[in-house]
């Protein structure tokens, strides 16, 4: 009967296909089993370039050189940002992990608490070149204060205030040095009728929002966790810091309410690059996007993100990427050699440009841009005007609770509501309770 | 229902409203896939400023779409075939035999339909990992793990539907086969199955669609190498630009095989649902 | 022959449990059914039952980031996780309760919306007319479309500045074209629309299939008696569809309540509070914040709720669990 032969044919095909499924391209297991001689390291890299493929292209020659120098092969996988944290989580849970992995440096203290990563104690630190080679603020992000860090800095990033030179010149404005100057310049450059706004904010991205909550509060000398690691979100400095940022859309009206939908930084950078806004606050890796979207290198300038008059000169959190080694690696020495190689001056210079990163090594020069003024500004911010995000295990909870609370507040403002200082305080209290309850 | 004038008006209004409701998003999907990037970044227009097939070409490069396609196809086809086979056996047992534990089986199987996925997502993951550590059989980050998971997802509904469908096939057919010397399995193969063709097709379509469209487990159980389309399509929105035209083009390409297959077999699907749901 | 004797009695329309030859074969019949069931049972155990039991175990344990690397050593939390989840005075419990409320509203409205549309379409398509097949095919497309493709399209359409929905509203002078659909309080309406867009076609499919088996003569007799269309619908269609409707509504509700795809694909990581559905809320509480113990407790609570709803529903509608 026709049905019978059809079923038989399909069954045979399926059997064949599933045999292919078992075999085909899915070996993603732990550190390649090497004993002695021919070792292979598994390395999970994050997305720093323009695409995952681009990252692969950039890293492959660098890794090949490492193999040439040491005989150790490196098995590279590049993982996008919306997957990396989950992948690391599942690696920790299952024990099936790579040897070396890039992490967002703000995750360092949380990941340290899982006890799944190799602490860089005296011996390990010596093996990678010693702790003095790093910029101190960068190294401080590696783990909880007073403990051996479980990650070391790899690429540095910092926020800067990008401004459109032509728009500023046309309005006779100087790049702002204080918050108040920034707001007033933005207001002069806001003209909704002509679809031009003073600033673009990634107001729907909880990670971006919480970064600015942190920076603004730091400018007010306020902290988010006390010495015992307990959350202190409702301090006056925190509340005012958050409100000041929200007011850019609410009171000062220099940002398009549509920004409340921007759930990642690329959208606000796009607005800047297509000349719809005069300023954008972004990390220094915005350069490649800006140029890719139509603006030329000399058309924009960068100044440090300003503090209010009389506030602390904090212009950025210490952003960037750190490198960690999994504790259960079977190739500890090889992994440490790899970390040393990646944090060596030459590799850093090679990767600095394509990944638009700031140097994490003392005395190194930024190479991500040819604009000397811009390079100097960012390096200055990174080295002297930046503060690490709270180095506590609950840091990731802090980011998601406070960040999402700010998303909701921006949404309220965008849809016509008002957010007062009391509203901010109440929202931060809820966030604080959530963090306290889940620790 | 009589086709009175009132009814004709009702029909006209209903069909227009529902037709628009269904068609407009499909129209937007189709036209946006033919728009240049600046069209989808600016205000919405009903027709592209200039028709271009570029999104259909570029979308393969922005994200490894071909690989995701292959993965989804392999996983869905394998899950479907095995799910249908196992469901047929189980449904036959439930429909044709009286045995101890029959009610327990059917109630339990049906009730697994209501388990929220998040409840057993992490435990399933941990179990897979344990199996890997004990027996060396890799299930996480492989297509095999997904296949096993998906085929189980569609089992409850398939067994329920097929059992109902088998019930509506008179036992006289079985008996005729038995008289001819077949065992019960022979009766199944020669007589019951062919008569149950619409039901089998309905169940196969349902299983395939379940596997093709599943998002939650795919997002946790796959790695880049064996990622499926359901998770892969999200990659388009994380690039330096949001390539909406490519996203729409990809969504179109991803949907076309499933939709065409479904529509070709819809007659059988409807017949299967009719018999299975209406006992 | 025995076959002839057994079929001497008129065969009933519904298959009754006649004693058939199959049951007269001892030995084979004893183990065969179990053998046939074995693959299904094994898979269900392995993929559904055992993980669920492990999940229940996880809810009694303090499984946070500190223990996830060594999860078998996680300390017991007793009922601690449940207390946290159910303490409506603190942030976590309150969040769960709010999310539960949102999900209940979402489910009820979406199911009602889908059922009404499905019924309306099924009735409209009941009599034959030219092009009926085409319309029916069109209506099935949202069901056939993979969920994420449809949801992505709606996401694009609901964007504030570049979306089709605001464009249409502006052209029709119904709004100024600046409404936010994906953040703020409209998020729930968006969720309902997007989920309903696909769900109503399933209701339509099922109801249409059900209507096909209603005998024509019932309608003809009613017409002869002078009953109008609406009366016929009320007195014939609805009662005849009762068995189908009972199952349909329950299934629709359970599916909608557990819907993860719609919020996940529509909102991504930026979930607005107005659209915070419980499955995503739990996913957030376990995966995104590493609180697997609390997340498991919430999932168990959700499961208990769904079981209670199903049990109550079946009790009230008087259906006993029939053979599958």
Tokens 């603004």: give the residue.
A216
DSSP A307: P
Shared domain check, A291 and A146: no
Helix, coil or strand: residue C253: helix
B83: confidence class by pLDDT, cuts 50, 70, 90: very high
pLDDT at position C242 is: 86
Tokens 């669609």: give the residue.
B209
Q: Cα(first)–Cα(last) distance of chain B, in Å?
A: 23
DSSP string of A329-359, one letter each residue: -S-HHHHHHHHHHHTSHHHHHHHHTTTT-B-
Q: What is the CATH number of the domain that holds A381?
A: 3.40.190.10
Contacts of A108 (CB under 8 A, 6+ apart): A141, A142, A143, A149, A150, A151, A322, A324, A391
Cα B41 from Cα B26, distance rounded (Å):
19
Cα B82 from Cα A2, distance rounded (Å):
20
Whether chain C has a CB inside 8 Å of the CB on B183: the answer is yes
Going through A130-214 in order, the beta strands assigned E by DSSP cover 152-157, 159-164, 197-200
pLDDT at position A320 is: 92
User: Is residue A225 in a domain?
Assistant: yes
Contacts of C233 (CB under 8 A, 6+ apart): B1, C123
Contacts of A263 (CB under 8 A, 6+ apart): A202, A204, A205, C268, C269, C270
pLDDT at position C13 is: 40
Give the tens place of pLDDT for each residue, A174-203. 999 999 999 999 999 999 888 899 999 999
pLDDT at position B240 is: 53
Give the tens place of pLDDT for each residue, A114-146. 899 999 999 999 999 888 999 988 999 999 888
Whether the predicted pLDDT of A55 surpasses 60: yes
Shared domain check, A190 and A112: no
Q: What is the least distance, in Å, from the CA of C229 to any CA of chain B?
A: 6
Give the tens place of pLDDT for each residue, B204-238. 988 898 898 888 888 878 877 788 888 888 777 65
Test C68 with A93 for CB contact under 8 angstroms: yes
Of C90, C91, C270, the CB nearest to A204: C270
The dihedral region occupied by C201, where left means phi > 0, alpha psi between -120 and 50, and beta the remainder, is alpha
Helix, coil or strand: residue A162: strand
Of C84, C180, C291, the CB nearest to A414: C180
pLDDT at position B115 is: 77
pLDDT at position A62 is: 95
Write down the mean pLDDT value for chain A.
Answer: 87
Q: What is the least distance, in Å, from the CA of C90 to any CA of chain B?
A: 23
Shared domain check, A197 and A309: yes
Domain spanning C59-323: which superfamily? Answer: MetI-like (1.10.3720.10)
Give the tens place of pLDDT for each residue, A363-386. 888 888 888 899 999 999 998 999
Whether the predicted pLDDT of A11 surpasses 60: no
pTM attached to this predicted model: 0.84
Shared domain check, A197 and A243: yes
Give the tens place of pLDDT for each residue, B43-78. 888 888 888 898 888 888 878 889 999 999 999 999
pLDDT at position A12 is: 52
Whether chain C has a CB inside 8 Å of the CB on B5: the answer is no
For A253-270, what is the mean pLDDT? 88
Residues in C closer than 8 angstroms to B258, CB to CB, are 144-146
Contacts of C292 (CB under 8 A, 6+ apart): B122, C58, C63, C64, C68, C286
A167: confidence class by pLDDT, cuts 50, 70, 90: very high
For B88-106, what is the mean pLDDT? 85
Q: List the pLDDT tens digit at each of the 324 positions of chain C.
A: 333 333 333 333 444 444 444 555 566 667 888 888 889 999 988 888 898 888 888 888 888 877 777 777 778 878 888 888 888 888 888 889 999 999 999 999 999 999 999 999 999 998 888 888 889 889 989 988 988 899 999 999 998 888 899 999 988 888 887 888 988 889 999 999 999 999 999 999 889 888 888 888 888 888 888 878 888 888 888 888 888 888 889 889 988 998 888 998 888 776 888 889 998 888 887 777 778 888 888 888 998 998 898 888 888 877 544 443
Shared domain check, A313 and A233: yes
Residue scoring higher pLDDT (A164 or B95)? A164
DSSP string of C168-197, one letter each residue: HHHHTTSS-S---SSSGGGHHHHHHHHHHH
Shared domain check, A165 and A116: no
Cα A85 from Cα A80, distance rounded (Å):
9
B106-122 burial: b if 16+ Cβ within 10 Å, else e: bebbbbbbbbbbbbbbb
| Domain coordinates in residue numbering, chain C | 59-323
Q: Is residue C28 a contact partner of residue B103, using CB atoms and an 8 Å limit?
A: no
Write down the mean pLDDT value for chain B.
Answer: 84
Cα A335 from Cα A100, distance rounded (Å):
7
Q: What is the least distance, in Å, from the CA of A222 to any CA of chain C?
A: 23
- How far apart, in Å, are the Cα atoms of A309 and each of A157, A176, A220, A304, B144? 25, 11, 10, 14, 61
B161: confidence class by pLDDT, cuts 50, 70, 90: confident
Whether the predicted pLDDT of B184 surpasses 90: no
DSSP A308: P
Cα B166 from Cα B189, distance rounded (Å):
12
Strand partners for A403: none
Which residue range forms the structural domain that includes residue A285? Answer: 159-317+394-437
Q: How many Cβ atoms from other residues are within 10 Å of residue A55's Cβ?
A: 21
Shared domain check, A419 and A381: no
Give the tens place of pLDDT for each residue, A283-331. 988 887 788 778 888 899 999 999 999 999 999 999 999 999 999 999 9
Look at chain A and report how many structural domains it folds into: 2
Residue scoring higher pLDDT (B189 or A208)? A208
Of A21, A264, A270, the CB nearest to B143: A21
Cα C261 from Cα C147, distance rounded (Å):
7
Least confident among A342-346, A417-421, B98-102, C46-50? B98-102
Nearest to A162 by CA among A311, A315, A313: A315
pLDDT at position A336 is: 94
Shared domain check, A415 and A291: yes
List of chains touching B (3+ CB pairs within 8 A) = A, C
B30: confidence class by pLDDT, cuts 50, 70, 90: very high
For B73-101, what is the mean pLDDT? 90
Shared domain check, A420 and A347: no
Residues in B closer than 8 angstroms to A292, CB to CB, are 240
Nearest to A3 by CA among B81, B201, B168: B201
Cα B164 from Cα B271, distance rounded (Å):
12
Whether chain B has a CB inside 8 Å of the CB on C317: the answer is no
Test A89 with C273 for CB contact under 8 angstroms: no
Q: CB-side exposure of A396: number of CA atoms within 13 Å?
A: 26
Helix, coil or strand: residue A172: coil
Query: Pairing mode, if any, of strands A386-387 and A316-317?
Result: parallel
pLDDT at position B58 is: 87
Whether the predicted pLDDT of A250 surpasses 50: yes
The dihedral region occupied by C37, where left means phi > 0, alpha psi between -120 and 50, and beta the remainder, is alpha
Shared domain check, A297 and A365: no
């Amino acid at each position: 009967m026709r049905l019978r032969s059809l079923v038989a044919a399909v069954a045979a095909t399926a059997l064949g296909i599933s045999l292919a499924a078992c075999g085909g391209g899915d070996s993603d297991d732990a550190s390649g089993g090497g004993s002695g001689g021919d070792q292979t390291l598994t390395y999970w890299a994050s997305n720093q370039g323009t695409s995952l493929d681009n990252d692969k292209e950039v890293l492959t020659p660098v890794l090949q050189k490492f193999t040439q120098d040491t005989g150790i092969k490196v098995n590279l996988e590049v993982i996008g940002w919306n997957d990396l944290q989950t992948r690391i989580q599942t690696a920790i849970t299952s024990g099936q992990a790579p040897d070396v992995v890039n992490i967002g440096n703000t995750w360092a203290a949380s990941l340290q608490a899982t006890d799944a990563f190799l602490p860089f104690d005296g011996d390990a630190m010596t093996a990678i070149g010693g702790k003095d080679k790093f910029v101190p603020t960068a190294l401080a992000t590696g783990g909880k204060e007073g403990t051996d860090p479980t990650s070391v800095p790899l690429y540095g990033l910092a926020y800067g205030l990008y401004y459109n030179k032509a728009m500023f010149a046309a309005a006779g404005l100087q790049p702002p040095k204080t918050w108040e100057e920034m707001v007033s310049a933005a207001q002069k450059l806001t003209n909704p009728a002509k679809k031009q706004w003073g600033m673009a904010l990634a107001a729907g991205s909880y990670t971006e929002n919480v970064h600015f909550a942190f920076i603004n509060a730091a400018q007010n000398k306020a902290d988010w966790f006390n010495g015992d690691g307990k959350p202190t979100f409702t301090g006056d400095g925190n509340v005012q810091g958050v409100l000041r940022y929200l007011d850019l859309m609410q009171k000062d009206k220099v940002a398009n309410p549509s920004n409340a939908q921007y759930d990642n930084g690329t959208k606000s950078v796009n607005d800047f690059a297509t000349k719809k806004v005069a300023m954008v606050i972004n990390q220094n890796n915005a350069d490649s996007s800006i140029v890719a979207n139509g603006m030329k290198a000399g058309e924009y300038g960068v100044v440090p993100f300003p503090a209010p008059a009389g506030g602390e000169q904090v212009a950025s959190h210490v952003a960037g990427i750190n490198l960690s080694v999994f504790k259960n690696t079977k190739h500890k020495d090889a992994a440490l050699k790899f970390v040393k190689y990646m944090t060596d001056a030459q590799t850093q210079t090679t990767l600095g440009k394509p990944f638009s990163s700031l140097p994490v090594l003392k005395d190194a020069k930024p190479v991500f841009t040819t604009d000397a003024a811009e390079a100097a500004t960012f390096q200055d911010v990174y080295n002297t005007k930046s503060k690490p995000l709270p180095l506590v295990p609950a840091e990731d909870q802090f980011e998601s609770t406070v960040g999402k609370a700010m998303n909701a507040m921006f949404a309220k403002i965008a849809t016509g509501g008002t957010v007062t200082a009391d509203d901010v305080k109440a929202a931060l209290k809820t966030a604080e309770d959530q963090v306290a309850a889940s620790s | 229902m009589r086709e009175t004038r009132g009814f004709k008006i009702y029909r006209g209004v209903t069909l227009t409203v529902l037709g628009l409701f269904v068609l407009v998003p499909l129209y937007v999907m189709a036209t946006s896939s033919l728009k240049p990037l600046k069209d989808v970044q600016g205000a919405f227009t009903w027709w592209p400023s200039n028709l271009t097939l570029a999104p259909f070409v570029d979308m393969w490069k922005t994200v490894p779409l071909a690989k995701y396609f292959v993965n989804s196809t392999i996983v869905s086809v394998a899950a479907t075939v095995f799910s249908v086979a196992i469901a047929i056996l189980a449904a036959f047992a439930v429909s044709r035999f009286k045995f101890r534990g029959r009610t327990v089986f059917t109630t339990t199987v049906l009730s697994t339909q209501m388990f929220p996925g998040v409840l057993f997502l992490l435990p399933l993951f941990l179990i897979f990992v344990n199996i890997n550590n004990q027996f060396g059989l890799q299930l996480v980050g492989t297509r095999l793990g997904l296949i096993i998971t998906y085929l189980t997802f569609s089992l409850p509904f398939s067994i329920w539907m097929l059992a109902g469908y088998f019930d509506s096939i008179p036992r006289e057919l079985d008996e005729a086969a038995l008289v001819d010397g077949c065992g019960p399995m022979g009766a199944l193969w020669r007589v019951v199955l062919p008569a149950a063709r619409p039901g089998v097709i309905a169940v196969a379509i349902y299983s395939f669609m379940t596997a093709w469209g599943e998002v939650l487990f795919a997002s946790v159980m796959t790695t880049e190498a064996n990622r499926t389309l359901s998770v892969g399509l999200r990659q388009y929105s994380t690039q330096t630009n949001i390539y909406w035209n490519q996203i729409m083009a990809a969504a179109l390409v991803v949907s076309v095989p499933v939709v065409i297959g479904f529509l070709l077999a819809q007659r059988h699907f409807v017949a299967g649902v009719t018999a299975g749901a209406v006992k | 022959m025995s076959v002839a004797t057994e079929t001497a009695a008129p065969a009933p329309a519904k298959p009754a449990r006649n004693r058939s030859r199959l049951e007269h074969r001892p030995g084979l019949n004893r183990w065969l059914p179990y053998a046939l069931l074995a693959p299904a049972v094994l898979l269900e155990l392995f993929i559904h039952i055992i993980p669920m039991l492990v999940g229940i175990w996880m809810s009694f344990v303090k499984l946070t980031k500190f223990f996830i690397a060594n999860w078998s050593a996680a300390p017991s939390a007793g009922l601690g996780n449940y207390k946290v989840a159910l303490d409506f005075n603190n942030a976590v419990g309150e969040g769960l309760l709010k999310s539960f409320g949102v999900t209940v509203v979402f489910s009820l409205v979406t199911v009602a919306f889908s059922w009404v549309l499905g019924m309306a379409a099924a009735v409209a398509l009941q009599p034959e007319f030219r092009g009926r097949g085409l319309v029916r095919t069109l209506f099935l497309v949202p069901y056939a479309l993979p969920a994420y493709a449809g949801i992505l399209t709606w996401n694009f359409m609901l964007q504030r500045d570049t979306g089709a929905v605001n464009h249409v509203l502006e052209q029709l002078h119904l709004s100024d074209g600046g409404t936010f659909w994906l953040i703020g309080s409209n998020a729930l309406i968006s969720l309902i629309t997007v989920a309903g867009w696909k769900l109503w076609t399933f209701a339509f499919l099922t109801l249409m299939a059900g209507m096909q088996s209603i005998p024509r003569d019932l309608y003809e007799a009613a017409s002869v008696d002078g009953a109008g269309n609406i009366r016929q619908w009320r007195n014939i269609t609805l009662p005849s569809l009762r068995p189908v409707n009972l199952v349909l509504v329950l299934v629709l509700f359970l599916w909608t309540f557990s819907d993860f795809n719609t919020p996940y694909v529509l909102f991504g990581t930026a979930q607005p509070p107005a659209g915070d559905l419980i499955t995503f809320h739990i996913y957030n509480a376990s995966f995104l914040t590493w609180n697997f113990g609390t997340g498991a407790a919430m999932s168990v609570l959700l499961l208990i709720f769904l079981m209670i709803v199903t049990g109550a529903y079946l009790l009230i509608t008087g259906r006993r669990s029939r053979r599958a």
